[in-house]
Amino acid sequence: MRIVEFPYERAAVVLAESELFGDKQTAKRWGISDRTIRNYRTRMSEDEHLAALFHLKKEALTKDWQSDATKALKVSLNKLVELVQDNGKPDQIHAVAGAVKIVGELKIAFEALTDEPGNNREG
């Protein structure tokens, strides 16, 4: 009989992603069932090693996401200023302004949902 070790790294990443993207989307991405995620979550409540690894993975995902969102906002705002100053086409200005609004709202929602206001703000 072959003993299979618990996949700590995989479980921690799956749980971290499910916190950010939801169980259904994460399960689909990893090719697993929602039940597997619930099983990982149950194990995490009793397994300190998995819990610690989960927190590290979640922190890494959160920092990456916040950093990417901040960069996207900076680039979009610069483009918006450029379009306005150069009398850009209204549809271009509207599209870039829409992107700024969406990314800004996502950042606000993310901070509210994760209780991490101002997480990784860059100049």
Q: Is residue 80, in this structure, part of any structural domain at all? A: yes
Q: Is residue 96, in this structure, part of any structural domain at all? A: yes
The three-state secondary structure class of 98 is helix
Q: Is residue 2, in this structure, part of any structural domain at all? A: no
Name the residue among 34, 41, 46, 32 with its Cα closest to residue 12. Answer: 41
pLDDT in tens, 52-85: 999 999 988 877 777 788 888 888 888 888 888 8
Instruction: Quote the tokens at residue 8.
Output: 């700590």
Q: Is residue 1, in this structure, part of any structural domain at all? A: no
Q: Where are the beta strands (DSSP E) in the chain?
A: none
Q: Is residue 46, in this structure, part of any structural domain at all? A: yes
CA 81 – CA 68 distance, rounded (Å): 20
CA 17 – CA 27 distance, rounded (Å): 9
Q: So what's the pLDDT on residue 100? A: 82
Give the distance, in angstroms, between the CA of residue 22 and the centroid of all CA atoms in the same chain.
10
**Total structural domains within the chain:** 1
Name the residue among 106, 105, 18 with its Cα closest to residue 61. Answer: 18
Residue ranges in the chain whose pLDDT is less than 70: 110, 112-123
Q: So what's the pLDDT on residue 115? A: 59
Which domain does 76 fall in, by range?
8-114
Q: Is residue 100, in this structure, part of any structural domain at all? A: yes
Q: Is residue 69, in this structure, part of any structural domain at all? A: yes
